[in-house]
Structure 1
Amino acid sequence: MVMKLAFSTLGVPGMPVTDVLRLATEHGWHGVELRAHPEEPVHPGLSPAERAAVAAEFKAAGVEVLSVAGYARIAAPGDDGPVLDEIRALLGLARDLGAPYIRVFPGGDADQSPEEADETAARRLGTAAEDATEAGVRILLETHDSHRTGADAMRVLGLVGHLQAGALWDVMHTWLGGEQPAESFAALSPHLGYVQVKDIASAEDTTPLALGAGVLPLTECVDLLARHHWDGWLCWEYEKRWYENAAPLPGLLAAGRRHLDRLVGEAA
């Protein structure tokens, strides 16, 4: 069993690609999840030449682009067109960078019924999955906001039933949703792309902490993945962008890598 390790650029907001890759190589991380927002160095507005330059930097460093983490909200009220355009832009960027995945959010609205949100999300995801097939990229629905548990995400993915539409398991959100890791994995495993790990102090204080310093069931999650011979990516999403007072991620990367190595090694 081999689990590869990545970290998200959400933890180093605005950092140039060269510096991100230096951190990854210095501390032995296999890949990087790129936050694809206009305030970041890598986003869908890049020209073909700029995309090629980013891809070349990653290749030269021997680091993989795990995913292009976008902000399309597939269950959100409104017309389908703008949402589908946003997803297609993310797919094009991922294709050009050689990333196997893009991330989308559910983004359902409190004014929608759960059934309406599910149907809207499934319709858009099913349409976008055809574009994903052409791009050779998989769209992953993150367990987040209106669909934070594995059971929630499966209500959508079950309606879609397309190989290019999968799941991104954010272990914090499923835990906050009251779902046990075994329940989350059982729901998501047929569609699982990769797993986002993180740690927090409590359900009331979600300020990011060093891995192993908080309450999230990371050991249980990794053990579960190992028992099922899951061979994929663990990505540390350290949400520094939203928590100004959180410790800087660069100083935590070495210990974070060691912690995940230990969890994977003990679970093997």
Structure 2
Amino acid sequence: MRLAMTTLGCPKWDIETVFTRASDYGFDGVDFRGLQENLDITRQPEFTSEMDQTRRLLDEAGLSVSALSSSIEICNSDSSEENVSRARRLLPIAHGLDVEYIRVFGKGDSDTQSDSEMARTGRTTMEQILSLEGATDVQWIVETHDNWTQSEDCRVLVDRVDSPNVSVLWDVGHTARTGSESPAETLETLGSSIEYVHIKDAVYEPDHEYAMDDGWRYVAPGTGELPLAETIQLLRRVCFDGWVLFEHEKRWHPELQDPEHAYPAFVDWFKNLSRGR
């Protein structure tokens, strides 16, 4: 398994700092969900006019860009034009930095549409995206999120899209905390469709000042109530060799630990877990 960090966790770092510290901390890759104040990297010079410099910094750090985490919502019929536009802008970045994965959301309006109808829209959107030049050189990963958090629902969407270029991003925090699934249940349902994994931990403390709407709050990996160790053990058992991302959401939750401490602590935790400590 290869370890990646997300730029959600370090919203104040410039791109050189991102690469330097990711390498120093022992990560293998960086997942871009924005950079500094801008969530849309396709509008930033580091990924357009200054792409050659970004590529040089990436190579010097000995890293990969594990994924580009987009805001594309494939099951939203009223935003299909914007979805395709976003995909079109992301593809030159993916090709320029040798990125294999682009994350998308399912979303959709579950109040007015059935899962089947939303999945049909998802298929149509992905067909439009995959018709773009170079789109089949990339793997588009659908996150277990929103209407598609539970593994059986996500399976319905991915099966309906029915493309070898579309697979699953397993967010363990979502399936366990929101979907009420054990890691074994998720893995049994989604199996080899899983190509990318998000890791974060949380505790259920509904009265805490930083609790989210569902009563949970994020904590350092290994200190919470989510089945992270069990998940890693199961992934090893099936010889998963993809990316494991520490999704440190400092941008959304400023009360979380600063990245200078959270990121190296995650790498230490993961390596100790590997050694059985």
Identity %: 29
> Mean Cα displacement is larger for which, 248-257 or 125-134?
125-134
Q: Is the 8 A contact 1:129 1:162 kept in 2?
A: no
Q: Distance in 2 between matches of 1:132 and 1:150?
A: 31
Q: Distance in 2 between matches of 1:158 and 1:261?
A: 35
5 Å-filtered alignment, 1:99-110, equals 99-109=99-109, 110=111
TM-score, length-scaled by structure 2: 0.88
**Distance change >3 Å, CA 13–CA 131, structure 1 → 2:** same
5 Å-filtered alignment, 1:201-216, equals 201-202=203-204, 204-216=214-226
5 Å-filtered alignment, 1:1-268, equals 3-36=1-34, 39-40=37-38, 43-46=41-44, 48-109=48-109, 110-131=111-132, 134=135, 136-175=137-176, 176-202=178-204, 204-266=214-276
Following superposition, the deviation at residue 220 of structure 1 comes to 0.8
Following superposition, the deviation at residue 157 of structure 1 comes to 0.8
Q: Distance in 2 between matches of 1:186 and 1:132?
A: 34
Amino acid at match of 1:162: S
Following superposition, the deviation at residue 235 of structure 1 comes to 0.5
Q: Distance in 2 between matches of 1:91 and 1:13?
A: 23
The gaps in structure 1 that reach 5 residues or longer are: none
Q: Distance in 2 between matches of 1:142 and 1:132?
A: 24
Q: Is the 8 A contact 2:11 2:36 kept in 1?
A: no
**Distance change >3 Å, CA 111–CA 152, structure 1 → 2:** same
Structure 1 vs Structure 2 CA RMSD: 2.2
**Distance change >3 Å, CA 41–CA 117, structure 1 → 2:** closer
SS in 1 for 2:223: coil
Q: Is the 8 A contact 2:196 2:243 kept in 1?
A: yes
For this pair of structures, how many residues does the alignment match?
A: 265
TM-score, length-scaled by structure 1: 0.91
> Mean Cα displacement is larger for which, 226-235 or 83-92?
83-92
Q: Deviations over 1:134-192 (max 9, x none)?
A: 46211111111111122211111101221111111100111121122112112222222
The gaps in structure 2 that reach 5 residues or longer are: 206-213
